Amino acid sequence: MKLQLALDLVNIPEAIEVVKEVEAHIDVVEIGTPIINQEGHHAVKAMKDAFPSLAVLADTKIMDAGGYEVMNASQAGASIVTVLGATDDETIKGAVEEAKKQGSEILVDMINVTDIEQRAKEVDALGVDYICVHTGYDLQAVGVTPFSQLTTIKNVVKNTKTAVAGGIKLETIPEVIKAQPDLIIVGGGIANQDDKKAVAAEIQKQMKDAATV
């Protein structure tokens, strides 16, 4: 089980400062979609240059031109690139093919997929690396969580690693760990806390403790 810190609502220097605090307690750092929209892949490169030993995920949320977009993100330094599960299979296949050439991985984000069970089965057959259930900010604001969707994909996904994102906090980490996803993605639950290092360290500890049980 790995921990990914998602950085969304900050600029590049602020993002680097946050990672300096929690570097020892995370496995992956995500350059969120708002940063990429604002700053481009320059942000991915800046993060990789600052922390060469951390895996960087580019949250591109690709919907078309899968191969081309994955090439650009990977060449900027992304180890993992996101594609939307709501897109067509051809885009996902193109993304997977290019990721193999570039030595990167594909995470399919199931945000706003209506039939999670059916689409997860289909995506599971396309050779992607992660299938991620995700409640976006706008649905989090009206009380939606990704936890039941995580159970759904854990039951049907056979070949692919699983991931979960969307409003996860220290208080909800035990419930998430119980479902045993391969990757837990936490944004504001770390980045918006006063003592980011302490929170990241505690999440990492709970994940390690669960792995040794």
Ligand X SMILES: O=C(CO)[C@H](O)[C@H](O)COP(=O)(O)O
The residue ranges that bind ligand X (CB under 6 A) are 6, 8, 30, 32-33, 59, 134, 136-137, 165-168, 185-189
Closest approach of ligand X to the CB of residue 101, in Å: 26
Between 33 and 87, CB nearer to ligand X? 33
Between 127 and 136, CB nearer to ligand X? 136
Residue nearest to ligand X (CB): 187
Closest approach of ligand X to the CB of residue 111, in Å: 7
Is-contact 25 173, C-beta < 8 A?
A: no
DSSP 8-state class, residue 51: -
* Pair of tokens at residue 71: 């090439």
Closest approach of ligand X to the CB of residue 146, in Å: 9
Dist CA 97 CA 99 (whole Å): 6
* Pair of tokens at residue 80: 């993992």
Dist CA 162 CA 158 (whole Å): 10
Between 54 and 121, CB nearer to ligand X? 54
Is-contact 138 104, C-beta < 8 A?
A: no
Between 48 and 134, CB nearer to ligand X? 134
